[in-house]
Structure 1
Amino acid sequence: MELVWLEDFNALAQSGNFSRAAELRHVTQPAFSRRIRALETWVGVDLFERTTQGATLTDAGRHMLDSAQEMTRRLYQMRHEAREVAGKQARSLHFAATHSLSFTFFPGWVRAAERTSPIEAIRLHSDNMRICEQMLLAGEVQFLLCHQHPDVPPQFPAESFHSKVVGSDLLIPLQGQSAEMTGASAELSLLGYTAESGLGRIVSARLRKEAQPPNLHTVFSSHLAAVLLSMALEGKGVAWLPKTLAEPEIASSKLVRALDAHWDIPVEIRLFRPTMALSDFAEDFWAKL
């Protein structure tokens, strides 16, 4: 039994796709498939049903998932604590944060947090939402900072994690200044988010709730809000962008509304952590937020 097998199992359970999970694990698909098969051989049962559409957990796999995620987190936590006791690792906080928040919200928020709880060292991992979730599930980080909406729960078990609201944001449908605001019935070229993006999940959920959503035609996709912002500035289409990211361009009128305020999406900025005990330093930071 190897830890890497559990990490692979968690990644495939989350993504439901061998190619995507292999990407997340930074291995080739054949190597990833062999490791999943090795885990199933060790357990003695099939953990996934394989179809042309992807992979879904069997009853045995679903039964094993929570324990596998918890065990992985505990093993990484044990390693962090052992290193701290041995003096080989500074008393540091480990964060995963989505790209847009890493550049816009995180620096000022951490400076404000330090006023009540001085921080000796920080390690920040910036990536898309799917990878950030995977890092928190695997115990590679203590905290996950991300945009959150009540209609779009994170892709990990709520009972295994706590969270606190640490800020707010607004997703606004924006386009380049040369374009004019149009009605929802006119066809709009959409600069969309990929499936790896947490913002994409939120925008999709909001549009699904509408009886008459805008007439959108996707012309470009990225998991990076900053890339969509650049494309919008070039006049390539409409993107739902975080106000925290696009505020300078909005203030200078380089970006303007594509749709009225009805289509804005208020979101929370939340910090997640596992329910299991963290280091004393991390627990003190959490308590003082």
Structure 2
Amino acid sequence: MEIRWLEDFIALARTRHFSRAADEQHVTQPTFSRRIKLLEEEMGVTLINRQTLPLSLTSEGDEFLALCETITEGVRLTRDRMRDISAGHKRRISVAAPQSLLARFLPEWLGSMGFEGRMQPYLRATGWVAADYFKALNRGECDLALCYWPLERCDLELDTSACSYRTVGHERLIPVTATTAQGAPLTTLPASRQAPAPWLAYPKLGLLGAALETHLARMSHNTCLSVKSENLYAASIKELVLLGYGMSWLPERTVRTELENGTLTRAGDSRWDVPLALRLYRHQQHHHAELDALWSELSSLRSPA
């Protein structure tokens, strides 16, 4: 089985058409069709449903497509790294992080540590959920993953056993709301059953959602929240809060400017704040000189209080 056969299958899955996929792969259609047939013979199953228009993948084909994408991406990344090594370039360390950390925390932290030229954001990660970061570390797609992490004990369905981490900072989710023309909060906590607070929530599958759910469950009084929408991204939730559609919990760094100019204000006191650590993870089995050197430097530093 050759890598180009896997690339053929990805092209066919994308175009759902043998002729178009063959053109993309710069081969004749008979040659292309023969390669797909060889793939099916090698795997011992039918991967393509040829009775539908456009073509569709069988359930086995869907599973095989995920494998193809993982392998070809791994080969591409390795090829790029080897080219850098061959050219004598010092390899930069790729770090995956949610958009709110890329925009706020990471630039400040890199500058304070003197790491600006050694690390680069892995931008494909901005749409990931929590589990995606650890899957990417496992397959070597990125070197490091920077995550929010609950300080309170929280049930997380994440396998981090192959990874180690350093705590590089702290953050807290604070409840915020838009303001009236007079500067008063549109929403205040606690609310009541008769008038629950309109809440722009995070899905529970994300680390922020899990941390917030755990914190609210431990509060002594009824929170009286009414979920108006769910969104994985703090930046998107912030825009809706600014428009007055509801209140939410946002990382404090992301709303400092708005709190200072009065376009946002706190919806509740510090009892409602959710403490978070900022953890930097790496896979224990993946090594290269630049990553190992940086990790050693981090390990010699005292963790932030």
Query: TM exceeds 0.5?
Result: yes
Which SS does the other structure have where 2:192 is aligned? coil
In structure 1, the residue matched to 2:126 is 127
1:237 aligns with 2:246: yes
How does 1:109-258 map onto structure 2 within 5 Å?
109-114=109-114, 119-120=117-118, 122-125=120-123, 126-130=125-129, 131-150=132-151, 151-152=153-154, 155-178=157-180, 179-185=186-192, 187-195=196-204, 197-210=206-219, 212-258=221-267
How does 1:5-154 map onto structure 2 within 5 Å?
31=57, 33-35=59-61, 82-87=82-87, 90-114=90-114, 119-120=117-118, 122-125=120-123, 126-130=125-129, 131-150=132-151, 151-152=153-154
1:170-208 alpha-carbon deviations (Å, 9 max, x no partner): 100110022253424351100111355321222122223
Which SS does the other structure have where 2:100 is aligned? helix
Number of residues paired by the alignment? 235
Q: 1:31 to 1:246 in 2, by over 3 A?
A: farther
1:238-264 alpha-carbon deviations (Å, 9 max, x no partner): 110000101111122211121221110
Q: TM-score, normalised by structure 1?
A: 0.69
The answer as to whether partners of 1:148 and 1:268 remain within 8 angstroms in 2 is yes
| CA radius of gyration, larger in | 2
Q: TM-score, normalised by structure 2?
A: 0.65
1:79-112 alpha-carbon deviations (Å, 9 max, x no partner): 6764444338651111100111010111111122
1:32-68 alpha-carbon deviations (Å, 9 max, x no partner): 83246559xxxxxxxxxxxxxxxxxxxxxxxxxxxxx
CA distance in 2 between partners of 1:153 and 1:119 (Å) = 37
Question: How much is the aligned-residue C-alpha RMSD, in angstroms?
Answer: 3.5
The answer as to whether partners of 1:72 and 1:139 remain within 8 angstroms in 2 is no
Q: 1:238 to 1:32 in 2, by over 3 A?
A: farther
In structure 2, the residue matched to 1:13 is none
CA distance in 1 between partners of 2:222 and 2:2 (Å) = 48
- Structure 1 window deviating more from structure 2 (93-102 vs 183-192): it is 183-192
How does 1:260-279 map onto structure 2 within 5 Å?
260-279=269-288
Q: 1:284 to 1:37 in 2, by over 3 A?
A: closer
Q: 1:222 to 1:98 in 2, by over 3 A?
A: same
Q: 1:90 to 1:268 in 2, by over 3 A?
A: same
In the TM superposition, residue 133 of structure 1 has moved relative to its aligned partner by 3.6
The answer as to whether partners of 1:128 and 1:197 remain within 8 angstroms in 2 is no
State the percentage of identical aligned residues. Answer: 23
In the TM superposition, residue 31 of structure 1 has moved relative to its aligned partner by 4.1
Q: Which of 280, 284, 287 is matched with 2:293 structurally?
A: 284
Which SS does the other structure have where 2:107 is aligned? helix
Q: 1:104 to 1:266 in 2, by over 3 A?
A: same
In structure 1, the residue matched to 2:35 is none
Structure 1 regions of 5+ residues with no counterpart?
5-29, 40-68
Q: 1:270 to 1:161 in 2, by over 3 A?
A: same
Structure 2 regions of 5+ residues with no counterpart?
7-55, 181-185, 299-305
The answer as to whether partners of 2:98 and 2:127 remain within 8 angstroms in 1 is yes
